[in-house]
Structure 1
Amino acid sequence: MPKKEDIRWFKETFWNELEAALDGTVFDPDMLVAHPRGQEMFDIARAALLAMAEHVPGYGFAKNRPDKFCHGFGVFQYDLQFFKSDPDYFLERRYERFEETLGRALRELTSALKKRDLDHKPSISDFEFCTVAITYNTGGFKPNKGLKQGHFDGSKYYGEHINDYLAIARGIPAPGEVEAQPAEPLVLSATGPFFRVETLTTSLRLRSEPEISSPLTRNVIAEMPDGWPVRAFTGEAVNGFIEIETVIDGTVFRGFSSLDYLVPVDAAPEVVVSASLAASKEKAIPAVWMPRKQGTITKRTENANAHSLNEANMPGRSSGTPDELRAELATIITYLDPAKGAHKRYRPHSGLTFCNIYAHDFCALAGVYLPRVWWTDKALLKIAAGDQPKPLYGDTIREMRANDLFRWLRDYGGPHGWLRATSSTELQNRANLGAVCLIIARRKQEGRSGHVAMVVPETATWTAKRMPGGEVSSPLQSQAGSKNFNYGTGTSGWWTASRFAEFAMWYHP
């Protein structure tokens, strides 16, 4: 099984050939680098099975099994079953030339792309690529099984391996680059007329269907501020709605909005992107923590206050592989254990709940900033003027509750590394790769509690709820609140309940 350094070698060695061959397709080099046995098959293509057995212990059996032989040839494992239709590829040992084996792989992936009915799209997401790879591997894709398809090696399925390897490849810079590029570059596919949101009262809801749902927020996927730029796919209305595309907090959103609140405008395509990315590129306002007296310890077993946990030997999260990240997040959940009665910090009492504190602790241990306290308006004005105020409770800093955190993520989260997810399916997949993920909803009535729940990696025991088509209806969550649990799916779609004004899904890689 390839490690990060194997993938780095492959990426650095074949980057130019991959980039040239994939130009004009929906695939990119990282998608090909992510092939789960690429390095292994490269060795197979260059040597006989017996020679392979000298270097890979798992092939030692070949010495005593004369009936065993290589089935995959070339870096991308072009199978021997194609010998009848493509004999020269094998007889002339073309699989030893990278461009030849890449060409065969791209041909098979393109065929799988058509089977998945994705060949009409200008780009595909990483998850969609994984479904293409599964189709390439098995001949088809069953949505209700998600990524748990293809060969099962005793711990994970082929689709899950592809997902993990692609995440690793995304984190490795291309040759000549200092930093890795964003996992999925922004690509806008709408080609219709441009519009601007004009409500003059509130934000405009972006819905997953061209209709107003019941309850009103059930099919809402995002809220667009007044004046926000969008682009239509065709401009033709259905039930008074048109299908549009825009970028919010650095994420492409596609859905339906009421034509009554959209005003036609003349604009270049980049306006849609630049207007929404401006905030995420701003310099982050400095993080702030509640100051404490030297030597004091904030414990899980004590009632909550504005201080962050600082117990000895607390677990954390590194920047490792998806397997390592998942294990570390599981350790954090076990350590915080919001369901444990002795952990008074999260236990509801006197009508108070502590979802915000659990979310803060979870993020802090995972190395992600989600404030327990934040700067007051007065302090923010001083920071904007170039000053750095001293954190003073009630003067320059204040406590953050769930409703406050909703606004903080919207206004300040981007520069601190937070990104929006467009659906619970995407959010669960991000969590399964080891990202820190959450769903947060703001209460309509000010003064009443909003809610935030962490979305966590699925395990062999705990999984998300999925619909027959494979979409996640309720992600796997961990929370404190009126009901505390380490793992659970809660009430499906709780964030769309009528008591909430709006919700958002966020992740931090």
Structure 2
Amino acid sequence: MSLEVHLVSNIGRRITRNNTTSRAHSLNEIEVANPLFKIEVKEERFKLIEVIIDFLNVENSLRYKPTGGNTFCNIYAYDLLKLLGLYLPRVWWNDEYIELINNNQTISPVWNETVKEMNSDRIFSWLIEFGNKFNWKEVNTYDSLSVIVNVKGTIGIVVAPSDTINRKGHIALAYSKKGVFWRNTVLTEAGRINYKSSKKCWWKNFETYKFWYYDI
């Protein structure tokens, strides 16, 4: 039985890019049209990634706007990947329920009871422990990630957990953006400043960081 879990609105409430509540829940204003991993032509995968990034409009959507010292890199990463048909947890099972699910027991996701919210620190640990089971493969350098993103036509993720220098961890997604003459790997992220595309190597200011790509 799959461990993949999402919180969905069961009372008919619309969860959109411009809601500032229910950030633990999945967006329900559109559905996944065609999962990235089912698209055979690499150029079409590139196009889909950019279409979803344009749709989410991270630089202007209220869902990702920093507020009261809170930032939402984890939520943006989750939303983008989910709309591509890929999995990164926004919530994850509390430990005692994982064994039950692995023993084929049906457990319902209940916020703050059976599941917990996943911040960048928890996602970092999750990728190390569970990432491979969900097709996330680790690479050692950003240069390697950049090459793979372009060659495979996939998406990558950079995660740095909180440390003694930085009070909060951070997450960004790496994708291939079409330029005039060639493609460039850039980052899209929500944080203190939200970027549709950026080339800032922010992780170099962290003590620990890792890179993964989704294996198409």
1:336 has 2:56 as partner: yes
Aligned to 2:81: 363
1:437 has 2:156 as partner: yes
Aligned to 1:163: none
1:485 has 2:202 as partner: no
Question: Residue 444 of structure 1 aligns to a residue in which SS?
Answer: coil
Question: Residue 171 of structure 2 aligns to a residue in which SS?
Answer: strand
Aligned to 1:507: 213
Identity rate, percent: 30
Contact 1:346 1:357 in 2 (8 A): yes
CA drift at 1:382: 2.5
Equivalent residues in 2 for 1:396-475 (5 A)?
396-432=114-150, 433-445=152-164, 448-460=167-179, 464=184, 475=185
Superposed structure 1 runs of 4+ greater than 6 Å apart: none
Structure 2 unmatched runs, 5+: none
Aligned-partner Cα distance in 1 for 2:14–2:141:
39
- 1:464-491 superposed Cα distances (whole Å, 9 cap, x missing partner): 5xxxxxxxxxx5111111110111112x
1:296 to 4, 10, 13: 13
Question: Residue 62 of structure 2 aligns to a residue in which SS?
Answer: coil
Aligned to 2:71: 353
Aligned to 1:90: none
- 1:307-334 superposed Cα distances (whole Å, 9 cap, x missing partner): 0111136665342211111111110111
Aligned-partner Cα distance in 2 for 1:351–1:380:
32
Aligned-residue Cα RMSD (Å) equals 2.3
- 1:36-70 superposed Cα distances (whole Å, 9 cap, x missing partner): xxxxxxxxxxxxxxxxxxxxxxxxxxxxxxxxxxx
Question: Residue 486 of structure 1 aligns to a residue in which SS?
Answer: strand
1:319 to 24, 39, 43: 39
Name which structure has the greater RCO, CA cutoff 8 Å, separation 6+. Answer: 2
Question: Residue 506 of structure 1 aligns to a residue in which SS?
Answer: strand
CA drift at 1:285: 5.1
CA drift at 1:294: 4.1
Aligned to 1:496: 204
Equivalent residues in 2 for 1:68-467 (5 A)?
286-304=3-21, 305-312=23-30, 316=34, 317=36, 318-340=38-60, 343-432=61-150, 433-445=152-164, 448-460=167-179, 464=184
Aligned to 1:245: none
Contact 1:291 1:391 in 2 (8 A): no
Aligned-partner Cα distance in 2 for 1:459–1:315:
22
Change (3 A) 1:314 1:416: closer
TM-score (ref. length: structure 1) = 0.39
CA drift at 1:385: 4.7
Contact 2:177 2:183 in 1 (8 A): yes
Aligned-partner Cα distance in 2 for 1:455–1:346:
18
Structure 1 unmatched runs, 5+: 1-283, 465-474
Change (3 A) 1:313 1:412: closer
Aligned-partner Cα distance in 1 for 2:27–2:137:
25
Contact 1:315 1:331 in 2 (8 A): no
TM-score (ref. length: structure 2) = 0.88
